Structure 1
Amino acid sequence: MIAETVLHGSLLLAVPLALAAGLVSFLSPCVLPLVPGYLSYVTGLSGADLAARRRARVAAGAPGGSGARIETADEVLQRRRGTMLAGSLLFIAGFSAVFVAAGVFVGGIGGLLLDYAEPVTRVLGAVTVVLGLMFMGAIPGLNREVRIHRVPGAGLAGAPLLGVVFGLGWTPCIGPTLAAVQTLAFTEGSAGRGALLSLVYCLGLGLPFIAAALLYRRALGAFDRLKRHYRAITVAGGAMLVAVGLLLATGVWTDITAFMQRWVADYSTVI
């Protein structure tokens, strides 16, 4: 059963696309600038706190200062790295629960509508093309942001709830990529495969959060450099969505899937 699921022809195409869609979502202007805030939220350690600590160290070392030993910002981050990692994992678990549940539902609906899969897939493909253009900002008026602004209390206890809020909130950056992944989940016609694709999307979106938690200071510098390339990132991500939408709308996706299913039909795993 595992081999049938993993080596299913359409999954061989859909899984890397879902992973890429999650990464594009993370790099989008709606998410990337908020990462330091999310990490500060779950750890209770903000940039202002680190700046105040630096000022206190300078004051303590100045003539007439107390001379007391005060932890450096790097020492504080090192000490709280475990907390930041745990908070990131809980945050990811929160939005993953939302997205995977959606994948199960959409995949299950696809299974119930197998007799109408082709026309529905073509319509969803056309919608995905529109979402790709929307992601690139090529459709004026569709880039409003609607987000749930009430959030739970800060700290590890609130991290998974914050993830759920993040998953339920709608932004024009996450919406198109997530909708494209759910379209692929529908074409799978299986709740299990829909869940798998959504989970892979969550990995693409969540793994950079973990990397940011482990390499906080370096990650902030890398994010600043990436911000200068937002336009290229959104164009590339939108182009990927448009390409997937065109494959679905024209039926080429189905043809490629059928070919890959025949290609892997005789493959067998070692175990």
Structure 2
Amino acid sequence: MGETFAEIARGGPLLLALSLAALAGLVSFLSPCILPLAPGYLSYVTGLAGSDLDAADGDTVRRNGRVLAGTLLFVAGFTLVFTLTAILMASVGRYLFVYQRPVEIGVGLLIVLFGLAFLGLVPGMQREIRVRRLPEAGLIGAPVFGAVFALSWTPCVGPTLGAVMGMATISGQTDRALALAVAYCLGLGLPFVVFGLAFRRLLGVFTVIRRNSRWVTRVGGVMLILVGVALVTGAWSSFIIWFQATIGSGEMGI
């Protein structure tokens, strides 16, 4: 029962950690900073106008091929930046291993701050910081645009990404940090791909989600705060022990 959250992050069930990271990415996509802009992102990375994305006729195969290529290149761009950042944070975590508990508490407090920011309760963190020089729209510029997206700060991506990077720092393991970053990117990136390929069919669904986006931010903010509190207090250890005993973690650790 004395197992700390840092030990859980370092050697606990990988499936649970990956699920949380992917969920954080999905929450970011469904947030009011990203979802309403999804059609614009799609047009930019594919070079297709909104009317072309929404067209029911024409060369569907060619259009879908362009959408698939553009969205995958865009996702690859921000995945590269996020994974390199996670690897760097894991390296920092290894050097700070002797200060394990203070680092754990510090990261937990930071994640609580991110959760409050996600709820809109930290005004200074509601500003957007974006790189203004953008590449040319289309497939060639799509991966560069993805990297630009990753290097920018939006109040709906920064906090969730910060939580995942905090988990990467605590783990101190390059392979685990890499897996967490990739899971986050899949949670954030796959909806872009699916939305692009099924634009007409999913437009109504995403419209409904956009109308209720406040609930997405509320749930996401509460989730981040709970993770942060668990880091500070170590209260998650009992749950992890139950999880390991019930489901087993022998095949889920790195």
TM-score by length of 2: 0.87
1:8, distance to aligned residue in structure 2 (A): 3.9
Contact residue 92 and residue 206 of structure 1 kept, 8 A: yes
What SS is found at the alignment partner of 2:89? helix
Q: Could you tell me whether the CA contact under 8 Å between 1:122 and 1:251 is conserved in 2?
A: no
Map of 2:208 onto structure 1: 225
TM-superposed CA distance for 1:219, in Å, is 2.4
1:33 aligned partner, one-letter code: P
SS at match of 1:252: coil
Larger radius of gyration: 1
- What is the match of residue 126 of structure 1? 109
CA distance in 2, matches of 1:14, 1:84: 31
Cα distance in 1 between the residues matched to 2:45 and 2:123: 35
State the AA in 2 paired with 1:81.
N
Aligned counterparts of 1:99 and 1:129: Cα–Cα separation in 2: 21
Matched residue, 1:188: 171
Q: Identify the residue that residue 98 of structure 2 maps to in structure 1.
A: 115
Which among 22, 35, 38 is matched to residue 38 of structure 2?
35
Stretches of structure 1 lacking an aligned partner (at least 5 in a row): 1-6, 52-72
Question: Within 5 Å, which residues of 2 pair with 1:129-140?
Answer: 129-140=112-123
Give the whole-Å Cα distance in 2 for the aligned partners of 1:253 and 1:174: 24
Where in structure 2 are the equivalents of 1:97-246 lying within 5 Å?
Answer: 97-246=80-229
Q: Which amino acid aligns with 1:212?
A: F
**Residue 165 of structure 1 aligns to which amino acid in structure 2?**
V
CA RMSD in angstroms, aligned pairs only: 2.4
Q: Report what 1:74 is aligned to.
A: 56
Write the distance in 1 (CA, Å) between the matches of 2:41 and 2:249. Answer: 47
For CA contacts below 8 A with separation 6 or more, give which structure has more relative contact order. 2
Secondary structure of 1:45's match?
coil
Change (3 A) 1:75 1:169: same
Match of 2:72 among 82, 89, 94: 89
Taking a change above 3 Å as real, the CA distance of residues 132 and 235 of structure 1, as seen in their structure-2 partners, is same
Asked whether the 8 Å contact 1:10–1:188 carries over to 2, the reply is: no
Taking the aligned partners of 1:190 and 1:50, their CA distance within structure 2 comes to: 42
User: What is the TM-score normalised by the length of structure 1?
Assistant: 0.82
Q: State the distance in 2 between where 1:76 and 1:138 align.
A: 47
**Counterparts of 1:208 and 1:87 in 2: how far apart (Å)?**
13
Q: Deviations over 1:95-116 (max 9, x none)?
A: 0000000111111211222111
CA–CA separation in structure 2 for the residues paired with 1:187 and 1:18: 14
Contact 2:13/2:249, CA 8 A, preserved across alignment: no
Q: Distance in 1 between matches of 2:195 and 2:116?
A: 29
The Cα shift of 1:36 comes to 0.6
Contact 1:36/1:220 (CA < 8 Å) preserved in 2? no
Change (3 A) 1:186 1:256: farther
| SS, match of residue 75 in structure 1 | coil
Question: Distance between the aligned counterparts of 2:64 and 2:142, measured in 1?
Answer: 15
- The answer as to whether partners of 1:146 and 1:171 remain within 8 angstroms in 2 is yes
Q: 2: CA distance between counterparts of 1:42 and 1:121?
A: 39
Listed as ranges, the matches of 1:49-64 within 5 Å are: none
Which stretch shifts more, 37-46 or 93-102? 37-46
5+ unaligned residues in a row in structure 2: which ranges? 1-9
Deviation at 1:143, TM superposition (A): 0.9
| Residues 48-98 of structure 1: per-residue CA shift (max 9 Å, x gap) | 5679xxxxxxxxxxxxxxxxxxxxx21247230110011000000000000
Match of 1:21 in 2: 24
* Corresponding residue of 2:3: none
Q: 1: CA distance between counterparts of 2:11 and 2:161?
A: 21
| 1:250 maps onto 2:233 in alignment | yes
Alignment-derived partner of residue 55 in structure 1: none
Identity %: 49
3-state SS of 1:145 partner: coil
Q: Which amino acid aligns with 2:17?
A: A
Tell me if the contact between 1:248 and 1:254 (Cα under 8 Å) persists in the aligned partners: no
| Deviation at residue 141 of structure 1 after TM alignment | 3.8
